A and B are shown apart, each in its own frame.
Chain A
Amino acid sequence: MNVRPMALSSCAEKIRHIPSIVGSSDGRRLGLSKEILHTMVASTRLELIGVTKRFPGVLANDRISLTVKPGEIHALLGENGAGKSTLVKMIYGIQAPDSGSLIWEGKEVRIASPRAARRLGIGMVFQHFSLFEAMDVIENIALGLDGSVSRNALDAEIRGVMDKYGLKLDPRRQIATLSVGERQRIEIVRALLLNPRLLIMDEPTSVLTPQEVEELFKTLRRLASEGVSILYISHKLHEIVALCERATILRGGRVVATCDPRQETPRSMGEMMIGSDLRDPARGQVGVAGPVRMCVRGLTLPKPDDFGVALDAISLDVRGGEIFGIAGVAGNGQNELVEALCGEKLSPDDQTIVVDQKPVGRMGPSGRRKAGLCAVPEERNGHAAIGNFTLADNATLTARTRMGFETQGFIDQDGARAFADRVIKTFAVKTLGAAALAGSLSGGNLQKFVMGREILQAPGVLVVSQPTWGVDAGSAAFIHQALIDLAAKGSAIIVISQDLDELLALCDTLSVINLGRLSKARPVNEVSVQELGLMMGGIHGVNAPVEGDVHAPSA
């Protein structure tokens, strides 16, 4: 053994503890090279055997087994509801498995809490950040630590970790001033400060620009090269092809396949995920010649609250038959824009928003719907639909005037039921019927219902935000097709999305929203992914080198 001379007993001691020093600074301080350490320890960092978790009415994880090796970037793939989140919550000690065992570095463990997980050397970066806006970076990190440390010591430690992994961030800045990508870096630093030997990342790129994704991947590769295992959850398949060396694919709570993503294509993995062939949306002719149906001129609104985004002179034209895409990193004014367009927030002037020559800027949602403008906000539960209401009542919520089941203040219940039934049938919504509560539907089915409810009202203009967010691939394809069909009938459509693949596949025209400002709209075949990424990061009007149009394959 290539170990410096030491007393035999001490050596044995070290060997017994070797699992805990691999990849940690202790291990490196001993001067042991990574390769040697790896050969010395059990070849698995984490092993799950037959892990099962049941929730009322659903088997979230069904006898799941997988192994993660030291230094491996392991993808956990699956559609929404496949059981990925439940699985990692059990690894991180947030939930307890009903049966099955977790083996951590060769020893069976029961992880009772996140704190216990961190003590073992498991770190996690969540999809949704838990940061206090009004505090600075150091304070936020200190709040997440189990022990107490002095501010200066922590500052130095944070800078140390950042330097080492090339993470750029000033620890003294206030959270409210940081971009989403920077906020994620805080979460990563917070996890790295504990020298984890397994880092769980839950959908880390859903809020990042392509450039930020590249930066993140560099950091992750660097960590992996030092022996840290990474469990990477995503449903963005091309990222997994680029980053991961092994993938476990879940469907309906079960492991359906394991593969080496480098040997697969995004398409083949996507088909493993949904268990059937992917259908590409069929786009008719591209090229738009209809009249302008939606015209926005200089829409400016103040911040709704301290942490909201002000809209700054937004102008756009959308023609009949056109699908107009708005890309952007979350939190750049998308929600504010949807609310301003659908009428929840009134515009300062009636002429600011014009639908089919009719000024609607001072009208509320009902008036705008009458004028032909319908909208689907991003959040399904509690915004686009009411969980404790039946589907018929949810139809009444937005379709009562356009579909004529409101007369003189009274609701025609039969009309509402009939319309809800039509939506359910036309959009293949899996439910017991119009009397089912909206909350009883799965995310994808509810989204299909909501989209169907607006599309079947035959709106002249449809504004949709994140139409396929959290929706399984099959339903997403269905929704995309429905949008394309609506445009083909002459409606103007605005799609706001963070998913560039979706926008590139769907839209005729693309624009980027950044800090409440909308970039100049451009035909989709004239912009590249790189350019969009730079614009999303806030660099407008950059003449990015044209290297052919690199359209990422759509998943």
Chain B
Amino acid sequence: MRLRLEKRLEPSRRMLVLTPVLSVVAIMLLGIVIFDGLGYDGQQAVWELFFTPVLDAYKWRDVATKAAPLIIIALGLSLGNQAKIWNIGAEGQYIVGAIAAAGVAYSTQSLSGFWIIPLMVLAGMAAGAAYAAVPAVLRTRYGVSEVLSSLMLVYVSLQLLSYMVTGPWKDPDGHNFPQTASLTDAQLLPHDIWDSGIPPGLLVALLAAAIFYVIVSRTVFGFSIRAIGEAPHAARYGGFSSDGIVWATLMISGGMAGLAGVFELMQLGRLNLGYPSGYGFTAIIVSLLGRSHPIGVFIAGIVLAITYVGGQVAQTVVHVPNATAGLFQALLLFAILASDLLVRYRIRFSIKADPLTERGGA
């Protein structure tokens, strides 16, 4: 008996929804095996990692706080995914967004007014979009792959951050730590909305998911993105400019990453060297796990946030290493990419001999 892959006539929609769930289950099982092999209590590690954050109400706020930036960034990335334009540099746009908002904060330190927060938000989004415009120019003008250029710009943004917090914007009262001054009250959003325990970022994420849902499913713009991703030539024939879509998707995903950067800045209260969190990279996993669908992305964002929070829990309870959350996120990415096979192929068991073996010689 042997296993055989058979191409499906059309991609399975059921599998499209089912495989992300299967992937999560698969990495839980794999996690048990791995941690047992490393000498930890595998079952408990996986339990703490995936279930404690869900069952323990004290952890919900943490999950929500971490989910918000992941969802906001991943929503932007999901547009690019559908157009098959891959922005790998959301982390950089996220950092640059935070830097711009911190710049606004720096110059409004002694001021107050309702306009400061909107200005910070706008500055962050604009900076993220502008930073994503660099790969857009390189791609549309010179045919440079946006995968490479956007990724490399992440490292540029790290240098910029390091320069700003150790140089011009260093907090004069900060005991020489590489950080900016704390945001003032006029620069901070309330921690929860109406004391509900929901951080403002999550509300924005929910709102953004709704808007993206309408864009993708109802508008000509959303249609053009899907068309470009499926068949660029047909999209051109349909009257859509592929350069225009490259620009639009990169600017939107850059802007969203910048927005997430602003909320995270407000969450932390100041910019410092420890600011880069890898959310921009994790959001790539979120967008893929969520199948680039706004609702899927929202759920996937919460799942990945759980692994962050659960990683910390497992660290203290089971004493697994610090890298545990990252390990599971990476496993998840592999699992989701591998499971894509099931969307396009079905597995058949057959007992027939291989028809391609030569019989009798030619």
Instruction: Give residues in A with beta carbon < 8 Å to B.
Output: 56-57, 96-98, 108-112, 116-117, 119-120, 342-344, 364-367, 369, 375, 377, 379, 382-389, 393, 396-398, 400, 406, 409-411, 413, 437, 439-440
| Chain B residues, Cβ within 8 Å of A382 | 231, 233-234
| Chain A residues, Cβ within 8 Å of B241 | 364
Mark interface residues in B207-234 (1 if CB within 8 Å of A CB, else 0): 0000000000011110100110011011
A112 touches B227 (CB 8 A): no
B233 touches A364 (CB 8 A): no
Most buried by B among A342, A398, A410: A410
| Chain A residues, Cβ within 8 Å of B236 | 344, 365
A409 touches B234 (CB 8 A): no
B192 CB within 8 Å of chain A: no
| Chain B residues, Cβ within 8 Å of A365 | 236-239
B residues 1-56 touching A (CB-CB < 8 Å): 6-11
Of the candidates A109, A364, A396, A440, the one whose C-beta lies within 8 Å of that of B9 is A440
A-B contact pairs, 30 of them (CB 8 A): A57-B9, A96-B355, A109-B362, A110-B362, A111-B362, A112-B357, A116-B358, A117-B362, A119-B362, A375-B237, A377-B237, A379-B233, A382-B231, A382-B234, A383-B231, A383-B237, A384-B234, A384-B237, A386-B234, A386-B235, A387-B231, A389-B230, A396-B223, A397-B234, A398-B238, A409-B219, A411-B219, A437-B10, A439-B10, A440-B9
| Chain A residues, Cβ within 8 Å of B355 | 96-98
Extra inter-chain contacts (6) besides given A117-B362, A389-B230, CB under 8 Å: A96-B355, A112-B362, A365-B238, A386-B234, A409-B219, A410-B219
B237 touches A342 (CB 8 A): yes
In the bound complex, CA of A263 to CA of B230 (Å)? 49
Of the candidates A112, A344, A386, the one whose C-beta lies within 8 Å of that of B231 is A386
| Chain A residues, Cβ within 8 Å of B227 | 386, 389, 397
| Chain A residues, Cβ within 8 Å of B7 | 56
A410 touches B362 (CB 8 A): no
In the bound complex, CA of A92 to CA of B141 (Å)? 46
| Chain B residues, Cβ within 8 Å of A56 | 6-9
How many residues from B make CB contacts under 8 Å with A? 30
| Chain A residues, Cβ within 8 Å of B238 | 365, 397-398
Instruction: Give residues in B with beta carbon < 8 Å to A.
Output: 6-11, 218-221, 223, 226-227, 230-231, 233-239, 241, 355-360, 362
* Residue of A whose beta carbon sits closest to that of B359: A110
A383 touches B234 (CB 8 A): yes
| Chain B residues, Cβ within 8 Å of A385 | 234
| Chain B residues, Cβ within 8 Å of A375 | 237
Of the candidates A110, A366, A440, the one whose C-beta lies within 8 Å of that of B360 is A110
In the bound complex, CA of A472 to CA of B236 (Å)? 28
A343 touches B239 (CB 8 A): yes
Of the candidates B10, B239, B360, the one whose C-beta lies within 8 Å of that of A369 is B239
Of the candidates A57, A98, A367, A410, the one whose C-beta lies within 8 Å of that of B220 is A410
In the bound complex, CA of A383 to CA of B234 (Å)? 4
* Residue of B whose beta carbon sits closest to that of A344: B236
In the bound complex, CA of A109 to CA of B358 (Å)? 9
In the bound complex, CA of A411 to CA of B226 (Å)? 14
In the bound complex, CA of A56 to CA of B6 (Å)? 8
Most buried by A among B11, B236, B237: B237
* Residue of B whose beta carbon sits closest to that of A440: B10
| Chain A residues, Cβ within 8 Å of B220 | 400, 406, 409-411
Q: With A119-B362, A440-B9 as known contacts, state yes or no: A364 contacts B231, CB within 8 Å.
A: no
In the bound complex, CA of A131 to CA of B358 (Å)? 29
In the bound complex, CA of A386 to CA of B356 (Å)? 34
| Chain A residues, Cβ within 8 Å of B9 | 56-57, 440
Least CB distance from B13 to A in Å reads 10
| Chain B residues, Cβ within 8 Å of A410 | 218-220
Least CB distance from B59 to A in Å reads 40
In the bound complex, CA of A410 to CA of B357 (Å)? 56
In the bound complex, CA of A264 to CA of B74 (Å)? 66
* Residue of A whose beta carbon sits closest to that of B348: A56
A366 touches B239 (CB 8 A): yes
| Chain A residues, Cβ within 8 Å of B226 | 389
Least CB distance from B217 to A in Å reads 9
In the bound complex, CA of A387 to CA of B233 (Å)? 12
User: Would you list the 10 A-B pairs with minimal beta carbon distance, nearest first?
Assistant: A366-B239, A116-B362, A112-B358, A365-B239, A96-B355, A397-B238, A110-B359, A382-B231, A386-B231, A383-B233
In the bound complex, CA of A329 to CA of B239 (Å)? 28
Least CB distance from B292 to A in Å reads 14
A388 touches B360 (CB 8 A): no
B230 touches A120 (CB 8 A): no
Most buried by A among B6, B8, B9: B9
Least CB distance from B124 to A in Å reads 26
In the bound complex, CA of A481 to CA of B355 (Å)? 46
In the bound complex, CA of A97 to CA of B236 (Å)? 41
Least CB distance from B152 to A in Å reads 28
Least CB distance from B351 to A in Å reads 14
Most buried by B among A382, A393, A398: A382
* Residue of B whose beta carbon sits closest to that of A58: B9
| Chain A residues, Cβ within 8 Å of B10 | 388, 437, 439-440
In the bound complex, CA of A326 to CA of B238 (Å)? 24
In the bound complex, CA of A367 to CA of B241 (Å)? 13
Least CB distance from B341 to A in Å reads 16
Of the candidates B6, B223, B237, B362, the one whose C-beta lies within 8 Å of that of A120 is B362
In the bound complex, CA of A393 to CA of B216 (Å)? 13
* Residue of A whose beta carbon sits closest to that of B241: A364
Least CB distance from A401 to B in Å reads 8
In the bound complex, CA of A388 to CA of B228 (Å)? 12
A386 touches B239 (CB 8 A): no
In the bound complex, CA of A369 to CA of B234 (Å)? 15
| Chain A residues, Cβ within 8 Å of B8 | 56
Least CB distance from B240 to A in Å reads 8
| Chain B residues, Cβ within 8 Å of A342 | 237
